[in-house]
């Protein structure tokens, strides 16, 4: 398993993070949350007064934040310029702005470079929205998770650091789906050859088991 790469894609609230961490822990692999990287850059932009709705302004600062992404599935970390931002990047402000920042090609190019450096020779579960389509299209295991809007909204509301109405979260998720699926650069899409899993009727452990089985099928113990 030392060289395997598991590409885990899907919309917000589909269970990517919990599933990815669970699979990584079960198989002794590293774990990378690429969404946290985009959120960290977005947090930096907001902290530095950059107009996140202005692509040129975002692009001009894309290389400035210094990101460090931890890959331990038992305790993933993310820091910007030496500051731990694991909590702040889950704020409502960052959530509202991350799609706009993520759509800027210069931001995606910068983070794509860093993501591929972290992935290296493999031995990792990577989650995001374009892992199987752009970041590691040759990954031996590609999974695309979905869930119904109600389940996704409940999960995402539980993750946020500020009290949020579930219905408002649901509307925001669907709005982001449309934004991410329609953007010109690396849109949210299921990769060719990906295994689609609707997580709605399953427990977390059941989803993890299904993904572990997919990995074991290509790299038997």
What are the tens digits of pLDDT across the range 198-207?
998 888 999 9
Strand runs (DSSP E) across 27-120, as ranges? 30-33, 67-69, 78-80, 83-84
pLDDT band at 183 (very low <50, low <70, confident <90, very high): low
Q: What is the pLDDT of residues 152-179, one digit of tens each?
A: 777 777 766 565 677 777 777 777 767 6
Does the residue 133 lie in any domain? yes
Q: How far apart are CA 211 and CA 195, in angstroms?
A: 9
CATH number, position 201: 3.40.50.300
Does the residue 146 lie in any domain? yes
Q: What is the pLDDT of residues 116-138, one digit of tens each?
A: 999 998 999 999 999 999 999 99
How many structural domains compose the chain?
A: 1
Does the residue 184 lie in any domain? yes
Mean of pLDDT values over 8-26 = 91
Both ends of the chain: CA-CA distance in Å?
Answer: 8
Does the residue 204 lie in any domain? yes
pLDDT band at 221 (very low <50, low <70, confident <90, very high): very low
What is the model's pLDDT at position 171? Answer: 76
Q: What is the pLDDT of residues 37-96, one digit of tens each?
A: 999 999 999 999 999 999 999 999 999 999 999 999 999 999 999 999 999 998 989 988
Which residue range is the domain that position 60 belongs to? 5-216
What is the model's pLDDT at position 114? Answer: 97
Tell me phi and psi for residue 194, to 5 degrees.
-75, 150
What is the model's pLDDT at position 172? Answer: 75
Does the residue 221 lie in any domain? no
Does the residue 112 lie in any domain? yes
Q: How far apart are CA 40 and CA 216, in angstroms?
A: 33
């Amino acid at each position: 398993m030392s060289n395997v790469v598991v590409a885990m894609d899907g919309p917000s609230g589909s269970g990517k993070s919990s599933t990815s961490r669970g699979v990584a822990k079960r198989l002794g692999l590293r774990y990378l949350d690429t969404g946290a990287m985009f959120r960290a850059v977005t947090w930096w932009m907001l902290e530095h007064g950059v107009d996140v709705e202005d692509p040129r302004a975002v692009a001009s600062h894309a290389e400035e934040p210094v990101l460090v992404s931890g890959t331990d599935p038992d305790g993933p970390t993310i820091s910007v310029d030496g500051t731990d931002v694991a909590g702040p990047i889950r704020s409502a402000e960052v959530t509202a702005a991350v799609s706009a920042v993520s759509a800027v090609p210069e931001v995606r190019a910068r983070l794509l470079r860093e993501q591929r450096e972290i992935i290296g020779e493999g031995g990792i579960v990577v989650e995001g929205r374009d892992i199987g389509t752009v970041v590691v299209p040759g990954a031996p295991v590609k999974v695309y998770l979905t869930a119904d809007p109600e389940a996704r909204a409940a999960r995402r509301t539980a993750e946020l650091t500020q009290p949020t109405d579930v219905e408002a979260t649901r509307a925001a998720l669907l709005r982001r789906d449309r934004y991410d699926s329609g953007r010109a650069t690396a849109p949210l899409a299921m990769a060719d050859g990906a295994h689609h899993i609707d997580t709605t009727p399953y427990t977390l452990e059941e989803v993890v088991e299904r993904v572990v089985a997919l990995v074991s099928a290509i790299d038997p113990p």
